[in-house]
Structure 1
């Protein structure tokens, strides 16, 4: 069995390199093998710091009996959703036809042309609470493939057609007017958890883009953003020792977090804190909250070469066993002798752009020269290693090795936005010039004919 993941750029793929499963990385080779063998494809999508991805890896993908079923009857593909967001988005859309419980690990079964005919998320090793075991799912899919192929084809075609219809962009709609934006603020206010802060019930996410919208809306929206950030910052969702925010909480009062810490969440929440600290009515709690996030980004997430890691794991090894959250539940003295949870050290262009912009803005608002210096180090690294000579971008890299995954408009927009923030904070026009170059290069690429999309087709090109 070939080990195709050992030298991957993605730490998530590398973590699965020693599984007994005959994994392929995302690409045409896997789909060609499925066509040659006439077997379905399993596309398993996750990311390096995902707790339930770790659980399914230990329970199922490390099981030789499960591996034998997969290797005999399927082609198995492992995808890092952060490296290939276009693949993740495509299959998330398909999975919504089969389950409301979307998330990761995302488990998709597809034909050799890439069209999905069944999907779910985490499957346990034994059936529980109405969820079938992973072995049962594999055996049922294999049986359906052999005996009811026409039914699977019908499902795949119907899902593909529905996604295609839903993805047609409308170009006749105008931007929302002030009344529509005010209605959105009122709807969010109606959904506020007045006791614990945030929106809705458990599980609860920090929804930083929503807070950013509310902060910029002023008036009622700004007040709502301040209340929410105040309660989140004083809750178990925020690490009181190292300052960063965790991914989400499983309870309405923000307790029992899932402890992975994402670069995106922390960058966006820092940006919100900076925005809410402008003006004469700056709440006093915001500076300490922002300072904690800056310290987390600088001390934990910034790599020696200047860029930022994508995330920090929720799990670590304590007393010889893997423990989810054990490190974070200790105080500073209790953490001191422990090895911190591992970083996903891959550099993502867009996510680094968010961190650069947030640190630059926070440094400007709070008078924090160290935050601006941290942002400058990251920007200089990205401009050297993630911008090609023709102005196009590298999506991701690890230890100086560039991924073959295509960059997205997210990468252009987020990095360009961060560079503009940094230009304003430092007064250095070169960062604004670089941002304009990125936007111009993206516009030229968008204007050029292209047939790229997420799923490899039978002729080796890619199809919708």
Structure 2
């Protein structure tokens, strides 16, 4: 029976024509397992997952394997991107039972959903033997199977939450920099060895740390313990990693955009899927790199990545699609790899030979092909532009990788923040408008009353409830959009989302669950404060709550942010790589963050000049409120007016402000001083 053909998930729809009798996750599958008295076989993956495609081709499209699955199991297909809560609880079980995790994830569970055997990818013959073994155990030793499932659930539920500490201090943040330095690859950038993932959140922390004064009791003070050496280490790690990724094969040197990760330690050969969340996070980091250092490379990568997002990932409704596949024509990386012969054919002998050397086309991938690198900027920019254009035109005739075009609220929130800020920094109003259009889509389509829905596709919202990261990342994006545009609609919507976070996700101990208090009850309520491929929901919430508190003066929001950041103190020394977003938010909290109120007509060039000066500041977590004189909707603007008939900027910290200034030079001087508050 074809139950997946009308799913909003492209991943589920990919399996709609399998001979496997798939169910989507839901009560129907559990009821059928109880009726037939058979186990559940839960297969979890996502559309851009290469090994998910391999297992689908080997097993799920194979009639004999499908017959075994249908006879002995109720088979459930789950898109981990639509149901991160389901993925989280079964991934915890898989990691506990096998010591590792990944996708596709294969879980055998009781009709109540309790896992008793788990794994990831299985080749067809091994998978068939596993099906037979599990089925025999279910019919021949049911008591042992049920006991195993009960023990796993009991053990997972007894796991204590990650302990929390006090709000991180300047010393905590310095130790985190030292901790990151211990695993830093001095030669190739990044952390650890192969495979290497873009450390977006750690890089955001390092950029905030490198130029930020640390403020205690209203005074600027240097970092303890070799402050210059620590800041220098942060600078080195950020600069070297950002340049290495931008010049390596993980970055698409023709069209822009980053692949998911590098299979080697040198960023040469990527795993070719392109994920929306990676590119949103990296776009923001590269824009911030330019803002912090003036890096020409940072500017180029930021703008190319933004243009790639608009060209390749934007949906007709104004949102952004989730991913591009790694494969085309069933071959991983075929769309992106080149041989020397192909370059000569497209470019001619002279330009072809030049391009072979320039792009390091030396057989770095498979079957004599190479992924393009650009280890140094070419001296002949005009020639490079011509060659690049010709290769792009030739590549356009290849079969393109598939696109998962569902819109995920959390990842679109990340894109909204990145595009809004990039558009403001580089005077690209089209990028700001794209951020606004995505915000409108989320606001009008994904909101169900005051509740947020996680996904939509083709202008139709899915029925999956938003999880913590959806509320937090979207709030973060809308606050960034408000700071760029001054449109109070986004400020108010962000506030409403954060009220939901405080009311429905709190664990009562300063942290947050990943699902709301009225969400579907799984065998475990997921809660993971550590970063993974995206900021953890808890750290994302802390960052958004901190920004909102800075705009409103709300002690409730500030205290909630600080409590949520207590986990960072525990992770900073030895696990800083898994707390990058929390460290970035903690750096903002320690530094204030600085608040800037810009009062004046948005159409006045003098207002625009003050506004741009504020947005160009690299002070960590700085928030900007923009509004007309007499504006009362945003508390930071309340009671603030023009000075001598001129637009004015007020620099504040925790709502204690210096005297207003009316010129960009005056504002810059106040910001470079690094603190607000009366003199």
TM-score calculated relative to the size of structure 2: 0.63
Answering whether residue 426 of structure 2 is matched by residue 366 of structure 1, we say yes
Residues 164-219 of structure 1 deviation map (CA, whole Å, 9 limit, x = unaligned) = 1225465x632332222222221211111122211111111112122222222222
- Select 1:149's aligned residue among 129, 142, 146: 142
- Structure 2: distance between partners of 1:452 and 1:418: 24
- Select 1:294's aligned residue among 284, 306, 323: 306
Answering whether residue 166 of structure 2 is matched by residue 174 of structure 1, we say yes
Deviation for aligned residue 1:137: 1.2
Partner of 1:439: 498
- Structure 2: distance between partners of 1:238 and 1:422: 27
Partner of 2:410: 350
Tell me which structure has the larger Cα radius of gyration: 2
- Select 2:203's aligned residue among 211, 229, 232: 211
- Select 2:482's aligned residue among 416, 420, 423: 423
Q: SS where residue 456 of structure 2 aligns?
A: strand
Deviation for aligned residue 1:44: 0.3
Answering whether residue 320 of structure 2 is matched by residue 253 of structure 1, we say no
- Structure 1: distance between partners of 2:203 and 2:134: 42
Is 1:312–1:342's contact at 8 Å kept on the other side of the alignment? yes
- Structure 2: distance between partners of 1:147 and 1:215: 59
Partner of 1:405: 464
Q: Which runs of 4+ in 1 moved over 3 A?
A: 167-170, 441-454
Partner of 2:151: 158
Deviation for aligned residue 1:27: 0.6
- Structure 2: distance between partners of 1:167 and 1:365: 44
Call closer, same or farther: CA 1:176–1:155 in 2, change over 3 Å.
farther
Call closer, same or farther: CA 1:447–1:164 in 2, change over 3 Å.
closer
Is 2:250–2:259's contact at 8 Å kept on the other side of the alignment? yes
* Within-5 A mapping of 1:118-137: 118-126=117-125, 133-137=126-130
Answering whether residue 245 of structure 2 is matched by residue 228 of structure 1, we say no
Deviation for aligned residue 1:352: 0.4
Is 2:89–2:526's contact at 8 Å kept on the other side of the alignment? no
Partner of 1:130: none
Residues 332-376 of structure 1 deviation map (CA, whole Å, 9 limit, x = unaligned) = 133121242221010111110000001111122222222212211
- Select 2:323's aligned residue among 311, 333, 350: 311
Q: Which moved more, 1:341-350 or 1:94-103?
A: 94-103
Q: Which moved more, 1:142-151 or 1:49-58?
A: 142-151
Partner of 1:244: 257
Q: Which moved more, 1:86-95 or 1:360-369?
A: 360-369
- Structure 2: distance between partners of 1:258 and 1:447: 37
**Count of aligned pairs between the two proteins:** 446
Deviation for aligned residue 1:110: 0.8
Is 1:40–1:109's contact at 8 Å kept on the other side of the alignment? yes
Answering whether residue 392 of structure 2 is matched by residue 332 of structure 1, we say yes
Q: Which moved more, 1:186-195 or 1:241-250?
A: 186-195
- Structure 1: distance between partners of 2:519 and 2:323: 29
Gaps of 5+ in 2: 211-230, 339-390, 508-515, 528-679
Deviation for aligned residue 1:308: 0.2
Q: Which moved more, 1:327-336 or 1:202-211?
A: 327-336
Deviation for aligned residue 1:456: 7.4
* Within-5 A mapping of 1:55-70: 55-70=54-69
Q: SS where residue 447 of structure 2 aligns?
A: coil
- Structure 2: distance between partners of 1:109 and 1:214: 42
- Structure 1: distance between partners of 2:430 and 2:200: 24
Q: SS where residue 413 of structure 1 aligns?
A: helix
- Structure 2: distance between partners of 1:100 and 1:334: 45
Deviation for aligned residue 1:453: 4.4
Deviation for aligned residue 1:50: 0.8
Call closer, same or farther: CA 1:355–1:157 in 2, change over 3 Å.
same
Q: SS where residue 452 of structure 2 aligns?
A: coil
- Structure 1: distance between partners of 2:208 and 2:158: 33
- Structure 2: distance between partners of 1:196 and 1:40: 47
Residues 379-430 of structure 1 deviation map (CA, whole Å, 9 limit, x = unaligned) = 1121111122x22111101112221211111111111110111111112222
- Structure 2: distance between partners of 1:360 and 1:178: 30
